[in-house]
Amino acid sequence: MVVRFYSRSGSDNIDNSKELYMKEFECSCKGTKDEKHSAKNKQPIYLKIETRFGCTTRLRIGRKKNEEWRVTIFDIQHNHDMVSPDQSYMLRSARSISYAKGNTLKTLVDAGFSISNAYSYLQQESHGRENVGFLKKDAYDYINRIAKDHRQVEDGDAAELIRHFKNKSNKDILFYWDFQVDENNRMCNFFFRDGRSRVDYEDFGDFVSFDTTYKTNKYNLICAPFTGINHHKNNVMFGLAFMSHETESSFQWLFNTFLESMGGKQPETIFTNQCQAMINAIEVVFPNSHTDCVNGISIRMLLLTLCMEFCESEEEFENIWSKMIADNNLYDHSWLNNMYKLRNKWSTAFSKHRFSGGLKATSRSESTNSSLKFDGKRTDTLFDCVLRFEKIQNEWRQDEKENDFKCRHGMPTLAVKTNCLLRDASSIYTHTVHYMFQS
Protein backbone atom coordinates (compact mmCIF):
# COMPACT_ATOMS: atom_id res chain seq x y z
CA MET A 1 0.00 0.00 0.00
CA VAL A 2 1.23 3.50 -0.89
CA VAL A 3 -0.26 6.56 0.81
CA ARG A 4 -0.21 9.99 -0.76
CA PHE A 5 -1.09 13.21 1.10
CA TYR A 6 -2.34 16.41 -0.47
CA SER A 7 -2.63 19.73 1.34
CA ARG A 8 -3.47 23.31 0.44
CA SER A 9 -1.91 26.42 1.91
CA GLY A 10 -2.38 30.13 1.49
CA SER A 11 -5.10 32.66 2.12
CA ASP A 12 -7.82 29.98 2.22
CA ASN A 13 -6.23 28.35 5.29
CA ILE A 14 -7.29 29.12 8.79
CA ASP A 15 -4.46 30.90 10.63
CA ASN A 16 -2.27 30.48 7.51
CA SER A 17 -1.56 26.82 8.47
CA LYS A 18 -1.39 23.91 6.07
CA GLU A 19 -4.63 22.01 5.80
CA LEU A 20 -4.94 18.42 4.59
CA TYR A 21 -7.72 18.07 2.05
CA MET A 22 -7.10 14.72 0.34
CA LYS A 23 -5.57 11.28 0.98
CA GLU A 24 -4.98 8.61 -1.64
CA PHE A 25 -4.19 4.94 -0.92
CA GLU A 26 -2.63 2.99 -3.81
CA CYS A 27 -1.67 -0.64 -4.24
CA SER A 28 2.07 -1.28 -3.83
CA CYS A 29 1.91 -3.20 -7.14
CA LYS A 30 1.09 -0.02 -9.04
CA GLY A 31 3.22 0.84 -12.06
CA THR A 32 6.10 -1.18 -13.54
CA LYS A 33 9.71 -1.76 -12.59
CA ASP A 34 12.12 0.99 -13.58
CA GLU A 35 14.77 -0.88 -15.58
CA LYS A 36 18.33 0.37 -15.24
CA HIS A 37 20.56 -0.40 -18.21
CA SER A 38 24.28 -0.37 -18.78
CA ALA A 39 25.66 2.00 -21.40
CA LYS A 40 27.08 -0.76 -23.64
CA ASN A 41 24.47 -3.39 -24.38
CA LYS A 42 21.33 -1.88 -22.88
CA GLN A 43 20.80 -5.02 -20.80
CA PRO A 44 19.50 -4.86 -17.21
CA ILE A 45 22.44 -4.54 -14.82
CA TYR A 46 20.66 -6.51 -12.11
CA LEU A 47 17.88 -9.05 -11.91
CA LYS A 48 15.09 -8.55 -9.39
CA ILE A 49 11.77 -10.25 -9.10
CA GLU A 50 8.77 -8.41 -10.48
CA THR A 51 6.65 -6.82 -7.75
CA ARG A 52 4.81 -4.20 -9.82
CA PHE A 53 2.08 -5.31 -12.18
CA GLY A 54 0.41 -2.07 -13.22
CA CYS A 55 -2.32 -2.49 -10.60
CA THR A 56 -4.79 0.43 -10.65
CA THR A 57 -6.48 -0.27 -7.31
CA ARG A 58 -6.76 2.87 -5.21
CA LEU A 59 -8.87 4.64 -2.63
CA ARG A 60 -9.13 8.42 -2.53
CA ILE A 61 -10.84 10.43 0.18
CA GLY A 62 -11.18 14.19 0.29
CA ARG A 63 -13.05 17.07 1.78
CA LYS A 64 -13.81 20.68 1.27
CA LYS A 65 -13.14 23.30 3.85
CA ASN A 66 -15.08 22.72 7.08
CA GLU A 67 -16.82 19.69 5.55
CA GLU A 68 -16.63 15.98 6.32
CA TRP A 69 -14.31 13.55 4.56
CA ARG A 70 -15.84 11.68 1.61
CA VAL A 71 -14.74 8.79 -0.60
CA THR A 72 -14.19 10.22 -4.07
CA ILE A 73 -12.49 7.29 -5.86
CA PHE A 74 -12.63 3.59 -5.01
CA ASP A 75 -11.14 1.09 -7.49
CA ILE A 76 -11.03 -2.30 -5.76
CA GLN A 77 -10.13 -4.74 -8.55
CA HIS A 78 -6.54 -5.98 -8.19
CA ASN A 79 -4.86 -7.61 -11.21
CA HIS A 80 -2.73 -9.96 -9.10
CA ASP A 81 -3.03 -12.52 -6.31
CA MET A 82 -3.60 -11.15 -2.84
CA VAL A 83 -1.30 -11.93 0.09
CA SER A 84 -2.67 -14.37 2.64
CA PRO A 85 -3.03 -13.07 6.23
CA ASP A 86 -0.22 -15.28 7.55
CA GLN A 87 2.17 -13.73 4.99
CA SER A 88 1.14 -10.11 5.39
CA TYR A 89 4.18 -9.35 7.58
CA MET A 90 6.33 -9.65 4.43
CA LEU A 91 4.67 -6.69 2.71
CA ARG A 92 6.73 -3.51 2.49
CA SER A 93 3.94 -1.53 4.10
CA ALA A 94 3.99 -3.87 7.11
CA ARG A 95 7.78 -3.70 7.62
CA SER A 96 9.62 -1.06 9.56
CA ILE A 97 12.58 -1.06 11.94
CA SER A 98 11.69 0.77 15.12
CA TYR A 99 14.27 2.83 16.98
CA ALA A 100 14.42 0.28 19.81
CA LYS A 101 14.91 -2.75 17.56
CA GLY A 102 17.29 -0.90 15.29
CA ASN A 103 19.39 0.08 18.29
CA THR A 104 19.35 -3.52 19.56
CA LEU A 105 20.37 -4.81 16.14
CA LYS A 106 23.27 -2.37 15.88
CA THR A 107 24.43 -3.09 19.44
CA LEU A 108 24.54 -6.83 18.79
CA VAL A 109 26.46 -6.36 15.54
CA ASP A 110 28.92 -3.97 17.23
CA ALA A 111 29.44 -6.60 19.95
CA GLY A 112 30.61 -9.12 17.35
CA PHE A 113 27.41 -10.93 16.38
CA SER A 114 26.80 -11.54 12.70
CA ILE A 115 23.74 -9.79 11.26
CA SER A 116 22.11 -13.19 10.79
CA ASN A 117 22.65 -14.16 14.44
CA ALA A 118 21.47 -10.74 15.63
CA TYR A 119 18.29 -11.13 13.61
CA SER A 120 17.81 -14.65 15.04
CA TYR A 121 18.00 -13.15 18.53
CA LEU A 122 15.26 -10.62 17.68
CA GLN A 123 13.21 -13.42 16.15
CA GLN A 124 13.54 -15.44 19.36
CA GLU A 125 12.71 -12.44 21.51
CA SER A 126 9.62 -11.65 19.40
CA HIS A 127 8.37 -15.27 19.45
CA GLY A 128 8.48 -15.71 15.72
CA ARG A 129 9.71 -14.09 12.53
CA GLU A 130 6.26 -12.73 11.77
CA ASN A 131 6.42 -10.62 14.95
CA VAL A 132 9.85 -9.04 14.43
CA GLY A 133 8.43 -6.26 12.27
CA PHE A 134 10.94 -6.60 9.44
CA LEU A 135 12.76 -9.24 7.41
CA LYS A 136 16.36 -10.41 7.56
CA LYS A 137 17.01 -8.53 4.30
CA ASP A 138 15.85 -5.33 5.99
CA ALA A 139 18.33 -5.99 8.81
CA TYR A 140 21.22 -6.29 6.32
CA ASP A 141 20.09 -3.13 4.52
CA TYR A 142 19.84 -1.25 7.82
CA ILE A 143 23.33 -2.20 9.03
CA ASN A 144 24.90 -1.61 5.61
CA ARG A 145 23.22 1.79 5.42
CA ILE A 146 24.67 2.76 8.80
CA ALA A 147 28.11 1.53 7.73
CA LYS A 148 27.88 3.52 4.51
CA ASP A 149 26.93 6.66 6.39
CA HIS A 150 30.02 6.36 8.61
CA ARG A 151 32.49 5.03 6.04
CA GLN A 152 35.34 7.36 5.23
CA VAL A 153 36.04 8.11 1.61
CA GLU A 154 39.19 6.47 0.36
CA ASP A 155 41.10 9.67 -0.29
CA GLY A 156 40.31 10.91 3.18
CA ASP A 157 41.10 7.71 5.06
CA ALA A 158 44.64 8.75 6.01
CA ALA A 159 43.42 12.19 7.05
CA GLU A 160 40.67 10.63 9.16
CA LEU A 161 43.24 8.35 10.80
CA ILE A 162 45.51 11.28 11.62
CA ARG A 163 42.58 13.21 13.12
CA HIS A 164 41.78 10.16 15.25
CA PHE A 165 45.37 9.94 16.48
CA LYS A 166 45.46 13.65 17.28
CA ASN A 167 42.26 13.33 19.30
CA LYS A 168 43.74 10.38 21.18
CA SER A 169 46.92 12.39 21.87
CA ASN A 170 44.85 15.21 23.36
CA LYS A 171 43.28 12.77 25.83
CA ASP A 172 46.34 10.58 26.48
CA ILE A 173 49.63 12.41 26.98
CA LEU A 174 51.60 9.15 26.50
CA PHE A 175 49.89 8.28 23.22
CA TYR A 176 52.43 7.80 20.41
CA TRP A 177 51.97 7.57 16.66
CA ASP A 178 54.06 8.04 13.55
CA PHE A 179 53.83 7.29 9.86
CA GLN A 180 56.05 7.07 6.80
CA VAL A 181 55.21 8.32 3.30
CA ASP A 182 56.39 7.09 -0.09
CA GLU A 183 57.81 9.08 -3.01
CA ASN A 184 54.30 10.26 -3.89
CA ASN A 185 53.76 11.60 -0.38
CA ARG A 186 51.22 8.88 0.40
CA MET A 187 51.11 7.04 3.69
CA CYS A 188 52.82 3.65 3.28
CA ASN A 189 53.66 2.58 6.86
CA PHE A 190 52.35 3.66 10.24
CA PHE A 191 52.65 2.67 13.88
CA PHE A 192 50.77 3.66 17.02
CA ARG A 193 50.39 2.70 20.67
CA ASP A 194 48.57 4.28 23.61
CA GLY A 195 49.90 5.21 27.04
CA ARG A 196 48.80 1.97 28.68
CA SER A 197 50.86 0.01 26.13
CA ARG A 198 53.96 1.95 27.23
CA VAL A 199 53.26 1.05 30.86
CA ASP A 200 52.67 -2.60 29.94
CA TYR A 201 55.95 -2.67 28.00
CA GLU A 202 57.83 -1.44 31.07
CA ASP A 203 56.44 -4.42 33.01
CA PHE A 204 56.27 -7.15 30.36
CA GLY A 205 58.54 -5.94 27.55
CA ASP A 206 61.36 -8.45 28.11
CA PHE A 207 59.65 -10.65 25.54
CA VAL A 208 58.12 -9.40 22.27
CA SER A 209 56.46 -11.43 19.53
CA PHE A 210 56.28 -9.80 16.11
CA ASP A 211 54.60 -11.28 13.04
CA THR A 212 53.58 -9.98 9.62
CA THR A 213 51.53 -12.82 8.14
CA TYR A 214 48.09 -11.24 7.96
CA LYS A 215 46.48 -8.69 5.64
CA THR A 216 43.16 -7.26 6.72
CA ASN A 217 42.19 -4.14 4.82
CA LYS A 218 41.19 -2.71 1.46
CA TYR A 219 44.71 -1.43 0.75
CA ASN A 220 46.25 -4.88 1.26
CA LEU A 221 48.58 -3.49 3.92
CA ILE A 222 50.29 -5.96 6.23
CA CYS A 223 49.06 -6.06 9.82
CA ALA A 224 52.03 -6.19 12.19
CA PRO A 225 51.19 -6.36 15.93
CA PHE A 226 53.79 -6.15 18.71
CA THR A 227 52.59 -8.66 21.31
CA GLY A 228 53.78 -9.86 24.70
CA ILE A 229 52.48 -11.84 27.66
CA ASN A 230 51.38 -10.49 31.02
CA HIS A 231 51.51 -11.92 34.54
CA HIS A 232 48.49 -14.13 33.77
CA LYS A 233 50.21 -15.53 30.65
CA ASN A 234 47.62 -13.77 28.48
CA ASN A 235 48.29 -11.61 25.45
CA VAL A 236 49.16 -7.98 25.97
CA MET A 237 49.53 -5.48 23.13
CA PHE A 238 52.50 -3.12 22.85
CA GLY A 239 51.50 -1.50 19.57
CA LEU A 240 50.26 -2.05 16.05
CA ALA A 241 51.74 -1.26 12.65
CA PHE A 242 50.52 -1.48 9.07
CA MET A 243 53.13 -1.85 6.34
CA SER A 244 52.96 -1.66 2.56
CA HIS A 245 56.17 -3.63 1.89
CA GLU A 246 58.31 -6.08 3.86
CA THR A 247 61.65 -4.51 3.01
CA GLU A 248 64.64 -4.14 5.28
CA SER A 249 64.37 -0.34 5.20
CA SER A 250 60.67 -0.49 6.15
CA PHE A 251 61.41 -2.80 9.05
CA GLN A 252 64.26 -0.57 10.21
CA TRP A 253 61.94 2.44 10.20
CA LEU A 254 59.29 0.50 12.14
CA PHE A 255 61.66 -0.95 14.75
CA ASN A 256 63.35 2.41 15.29
CA THR A 257 59.92 3.99 15.71
CA PHE A 258 58.88 1.28 18.17
CA LEU A 259 62.14 1.67 20.11
CA GLU A 260 61.74 5.45 20.29
CA SER A 261 58.14 5.10 21.50
CA MET A 262 59.33 2.83 24.32
CA GLY A 263 62.05 5.13 25.57
CA GLY A 264 64.88 3.12 24.00
CA LYS A 265 64.27 -0.07 26.00
CA GLN A 266 65.20 -3.13 23.95
CA PRO A 267 63.39 -6.44 24.53
CA GLU A 268 65.36 -9.38 25.88
CA THR A 269 63.91 -11.76 23.29
CA ILE A 270 62.09 -11.20 19.99
CA PHE A 271 60.08 -13.98 18.36
CA THR A 272 59.59 -13.54 14.60
CA ASN A 273 59.00 -15.58 11.47
CA GLN A 274 61.81 -16.40 9.04
CA CYS A 275 61.71 -13.19 7.00
CA GLN A 276 65.35 -12.37 6.28
CA ALA A 277 64.69 -8.66 5.77
CA MET A 278 63.05 -8.55 9.19
CA ILE A 279 65.92 -10.45 10.85
CA ASN A 280 68.48 -8.11 9.29
CA ALA A 281 66.60 -5.06 10.56
CA ILE A 282 66.32 -6.55 14.06
CA GLU A 283 70.08 -7.14 14.21
CA VAL A 284 70.66 -3.48 13.31
CA VAL A 285 68.03 -1.86 15.57
CA PHE A 286 68.02 -4.39 18.46
CA PRO A 287 71.65 -5.57 18.65
CA ASN A 288 71.26 -6.61 22.30
CA SER A 289 68.10 -8.70 21.77
CA HIS A 290 68.04 -12.41 21.14
CA THR A 291 66.08 -13.33 18.02
CA ASP A 292 64.08 -16.53 17.78
CA CYS A 293 63.03 -16.89 14.14
CA VAL A 294 61.46 -20.34 13.96
CA ASN A 295 57.78 -20.88 13.35
CA GLY A 296 56.97 -23.92 15.46
CA ILE A 297 54.02 -24.95 13.29
CA SER A 298 56.36 -26.05 10.48
CA ILE A 299 58.42 -28.36 12.68
CA ARG A 300 57.11 -31.89 12.32
CA MET A 301 59.92 -34.26 13.14
CA LEU A 302 60.30 -35.31 16.75
CA LEU A 303 64.07 -35.00 16.84
CA LEU A 304 64.00 -31.50 15.45
CA THR A 305 61.45 -30.61 18.13
CA LEU A 306 63.80 -31.99 20.75
CA CYS A 307 66.63 -29.88 19.34
CA MET A 308 64.45 -26.80 19.36
CA GLU A 309 62.90 -26.98 22.81
CA PHE A 310 64.21 -29.67 25.12
CA CYS A 311 67.99 -29.73 24.95
CA GLU A 312 69.56 -28.86 28.29
CA SER A 313 72.96 -27.98 26.85
CA GLU A 314 74.71 -27.18 23.59
CA GLU A 315 76.48 -30.56 23.77
CA GLU A 316 73.14 -32.39 23.97
CA PHE A 317 71.87 -30.39 21.01
CA GLU A 318 74.91 -31.37 18.89
CA ASN A 319 74.47 -35.06 19.74
CA ILE A 320 70.76 -35.15 18.86
CA TRP A 321 71.24 -33.09 15.72
CA SER A 322 74.03 -35.34 14.47
CA LYS A 323 71.89 -38.42 15.10
CA MET A 324 68.95 -36.91 13.22
CA ILE A 325 71.10 -36.06 10.19
CA ALA A 326 72.86 -39.44 10.13
CA ASP A 327 69.80 -41.63 10.70
CA ASN A 328 67.83 -39.91 7.93
CA ASN A 329 70.74 -39.27 5.54
CA LEU A 330 70.02 -35.56 5.46
CA TYR A 331 73.58 -34.33 4.90
CA ASP A 332 72.63 -32.49 1.70
CA HIS A 333 69.35 -31.06 2.96
CA SER A 334 69.79 -27.33 2.24
CA TRP A 335 67.03 -26.12 4.57
CA LEU A 336 68.33 -28.10 7.55
CA ASN A 337 71.89 -27.00 6.83
CA ASN A 338 70.76 -23.41 6.87
CA MET A 339 68.79 -24.00 10.08
CA TYR A 340 71.92 -25.40 11.71
CA LYS A 341 73.79 -22.20 10.90
CA LEU A 342 71.02 -20.28 12.71
CA ARG A 343 70.81 -22.70 15.67
CA ASN A 344 71.67 -20.04 18.23
CA LYS A 345 68.54 -18.14 17.15
CA TRP A 346 65.96 -20.91 17.66
CA SER A 347 67.25 -23.63 19.98
CA THR A 348 66.63 -23.15 23.70
CA ALA A 349 70.00 -24.80 24.38
CA PHE A 350 71.66 -21.56 23.25
CA SER A 351 69.24 -19.13 24.94
CA LYS A 352 68.46 -20.50 28.39
CA HIS A 353 69.91 -17.39 29.99
CA ARG A 354 67.37 -15.19 28.18
CA PHE A 355 63.73 -14.66 29.14
CA SER A 356 61.17 -15.92 26.63
CA GLY A 357 58.02 -16.26 28.71
CA GLY A 358 58.00 -20.01 28.20
CA LEU A 359 57.10 -19.66 24.51
CA LYS A 360 58.79 -21.34 21.58
CA ALA A 361 57.24 -19.67 18.53
CA THR A 362 55.25 -16.71 17.23
CA SER A 363 51.97 -18.16 18.48
CA ARG A 364 51.20 -14.99 20.42
CA SER A 365 51.32 -12.84 17.31
CA GLU A 366 49.33 -15.43 15.37
CA SER A 367 46.59 -15.43 18.01
CA THR A 368 46.58 -11.63 17.89
CA ASN A 369 46.19 -11.73 14.11
CA SER A 370 43.35 -14.21 14.55
CA SER A 371 41.61 -11.82 16.94
CA LEU A 372 42.05 -8.91 14.55
CA LYS A 373 40.71 -11.03 11.70
CA PHE A 374 37.48 -11.77 13.57
CA ASP A 375 34.61 -9.79 12.05
CA GLY A 376 37.08 -8.01 9.79
CA LYS A 377 36.61 -7.60 6.04
CA ARG A 378 39.05 -7.04 3.21
CA THR A 379 37.09 -3.89 2.36
CA ASP A 380 37.86 -2.31 5.75
CA THR A 381 39.56 1.06 5.77
CA LEU A 382 42.57 1.75 7.98
CA PHE A 383 40.28 3.64 10.31
CA ASP A 384 38.05 0.55 10.61
CA CYS A 385 41.07 -1.62 11.44
CA VAL A 386 42.35 0.77 14.11
CA LEU A 387 38.93 0.91 15.79
CA ARG A 388 38.71 -2.90 15.78
CA PHE A 389 42.22 -3.13 17.26
CA GLU A 390 41.29 -0.70 20.04
CA LYS A 391 38.14 -2.70 20.78
CA ILE A 392 40.10 -5.97 21.10
CA GLN A 393 42.77 -4.28 23.19
CA ASN A 394 40.14 -2.95 25.61
CA GLU A 395 38.61 -6.43 25.90
CA TRP A 396 42.00 -7.93 26.79
CA ARG A 397 42.59 -5.25 29.40
CA GLN A 398 39.19 -5.92 30.92
CA ASP A 399 40.11 -9.62 31.10
CA GLU A 400 43.35 -8.70 32.89
CA LYS A 401 41.42 -6.55 35.36
CA GLU A 402 39.08 -9.46 36.13
CA ASN A 403 42.01 -11.86 36.56
CA ASP A 404 43.68 -9.37 38.92
CA PHE A 405 40.47 -9.24 40.94
CA LYS A 406 40.38 -13.05 41.25
CA CYS A 407 44.00 -13.12 42.40
CA ARG A 408 43.47 -10.42 45.04
CA HIS A 409 40.29 -11.91 46.42
CA GLY A 410 40.89 -15.64 46.10
CA MET A 411 43.55 -18.28 46.73
CA PRO A 412 44.67 -21.03 44.35
CA THR A 413 44.13 -24.64 45.40
CA LEU A 414 47.30 -26.06 46.95
CA ALA A 415 48.31 -29.59 46.02
CA VAL A 416 49.78 -29.99 49.53
CA LYS A 417 48.08 -27.60 51.94
CA THR A 418 50.76 -27.99 54.61
CA ASN A 419 53.60 -27.13 52.26
CA CYS A 420 55.00 -23.77 53.35
CA LEU A 421 56.78 -23.16 50.05
CA LEU A 422 53.56 -23.53 48.03
CA ARG A 423 51.64 -21.39 50.51
CA ASP A 424 54.20 -18.60 50.27
CA ALA A 425 54.25 -18.86 46.46
CA SER A 426 50.46 -18.52 46.34
CA SER A 427 50.73 -15.12 48.01
CA ILE A 428 53.33 -13.89 45.49
CA TYR A 429 52.42 -15.38 42.13
CA THR A 430 49.30 -14.95 40.09
CA HIS A 431 47.12 -18.06 39.99
CA THR A 432 48.32 -19.04 36.52
CA VAL A 433 52.00 -18.74 37.39
CA HIS A 434 51.46 -20.42 40.77
CA TYR A 435 50.00 -23.53 39.12
CA MET A 436 53.02 -23.64 36.79
CA PHE A 437 55.32 -23.40 39.81
CA GLN A 438 53.33 -26.02 41.70
CA SER A 439 53.46 -28.42 38.74
pLDDT class of 295 with cuts at 50, 70, 90:
very low
Over range 239-244, report the average pLDDT. Answer: 90
Write down the pLDDT at residue 155.
53
* Residues linked to residue 210 through DSSP beta bridges, in sequence order: 226
Mean of pLDDT over the chain:
78
Write down the pLDDT at residue 437.
85
pLDDT class of 372 with cuts at 50, 70, 90:
low
Are β-strands 269-271 and 207-210 bridged in parallel, bridged antiparallel, or unpaired? parallel
Half-sphere exposure (Cβ direction) of 44: Cα atoms closer than 13 Å: 7
Write down the pLDDT at residue 15.
45
| Burial per residue of 115-142, b for 16 or more beta-carbon CB atoms within 10 angstroms, e otherwise | beebbeebeeeeeebeebbbebebbeeb
Write down the pLDDT at residue 10.
40
Q: For helices 99-110 and 115-125, what crossing angle results, to 10°? A: 140
Q: What is the dihedral of CA 30, 36, 37, 43, to 10 degrees?
A: -50
Over range 5-31, report the average pLDDT. Answer: 65
The region of weakest confidence among 106-110, 256-260, 357-361 is 357-361
- Residue intervals in the chain for CATH 3.30.420.10: 156-295+361-399
| 200 has a pLDDT exceeding 50 | yes
| Residue type present at position 157 | D
pLDDT class of 36 with cuts at 50, 70, 90:
low
pLDDT class of 374 with cuts at 50, 70, 90:
very low
Write down the pLDDT at residue 256.
96
Fold of 156-295+361-399: Nucleotidyltransferase; domain 5 (3.30.420)
23 touches 4 (CB < 8 A): yes
Write down the pLDDT at residue 398.
92
DSSP 3-state percent helix, strand, coil across the chain (nearest 5)? 45, 15, 40
| pLDDT single digits (tens) 143-158 | 877 765 554 335 577 8
pLDDT class of 213 with cuts at 50, 70, 90:
low
* 404, burial (CB in 10 Å: exposed 0-12, middle 13-18, buried 19+): middle
| 87 has a pLDDT exceeding 90 | no
